[in-house]
Chains A and B, each alone.
Chain A
Amino acid sequence: GAVVSQHPSWVICKSGTSVKIECRSLDFQATTMFWYRQFPKQSLMLMATSNEGSKATYEQGVEKDKFLINHASLTLSTLTVTSAHPEDSSFYICSATGGPGYGYTFGSGTRLTVV
């Protein structure tokens, strides 16, 4: 149980275009979803926390107008990288939890390359 599907697993896009990444909880209701970005030395930076039906909470330094997060249902959250630039190229990963007492389940990640 507790499966999170993240799609696409990799994407190449042109600079200036937008890319949408989906994160779905397949067999549980994800009250909270988290979006991370991987930086060098394998560190994961928390970008934002989203609760179903409310606006995402962004971490300091993360541009909310550039990284649009929508958590419209209990099973789906999306991250849209708008007007992507080469420096946005990275590995993005989501995780989800059903609430207090539940564990965290990670998606399989999305490798974004902006050319």
Chain B
Amino acid sequence: DQQVKQNSPSLSVQEGRISILNCDYTNSMFDYFLWYKKYPAEGPTFLISISSIKDKNEDGRFTVFLNKSAKHLSLHIVPSQPGDSAVYFCAASEWGSQGNLIFGKGTKLSVKP
């Protein structure tokens, strides 16, 4: 049973607009959530994280929102740039940042000029 789900395998957005990537989870024990970005032939690179004690974390163009009651988080990229085109993975862990990471299957974002 998948504990972390990214139901949209792909997303296409126009440059300058907002990209919204969604992630749902089922394990209520998860207390730390992360987003990774992956280019082809490279490993995932860490983007942004959020602890369950918060509902929003912002870093530049990237904002992650957490809705614990809905067991849902989302990554907003504003404004989207062509260089943002990549696969984005949502991950979650118990035990804060020290826990094992459970990854979703990823969403491929394409930002068109």
Contact = CB atoms under 8 A, between A and B. Distances in A.
B51 to A, nearest CB: 12
Nearest to A104: B106
B43 A34 contact: yes
Contact of B42 (A9, A42, A46, A93): A46
Contact of A105 (B45, B46, B49, B105): B105
B45 A109 contact: no
Nearest to A91: B100
Most buried by A among B9, B97, B101, B106: B101
A108 B91 CA distance: 10
A79 to B, nearest CB: 15
18 contacts: A9-B100, A34-B43, A38-B101, A41-B46, A42-B34, A43-B45, A44-B43, A44-B44, A44-B45, A46-B42, A46-B43, A91-B101, A103-B9, A103-B105, A103-B106, A104-B106, A109-B100, A109-B101
A104 B101 contact: no
Most buried by B among A2, A36, A44, A95: A44
B36 A44 contact: yes
B87 interface: yes
B46 A44 contact: yes
Nearest to B103: A106
Given A10-B100, A44-B43, 11 more contacts: A36-B44, A42-B34, A42-B97, A44-B44, A104-B38, A104-B105, A106-B101, A106-B103, A108-B102, A109-B102, A111-B100
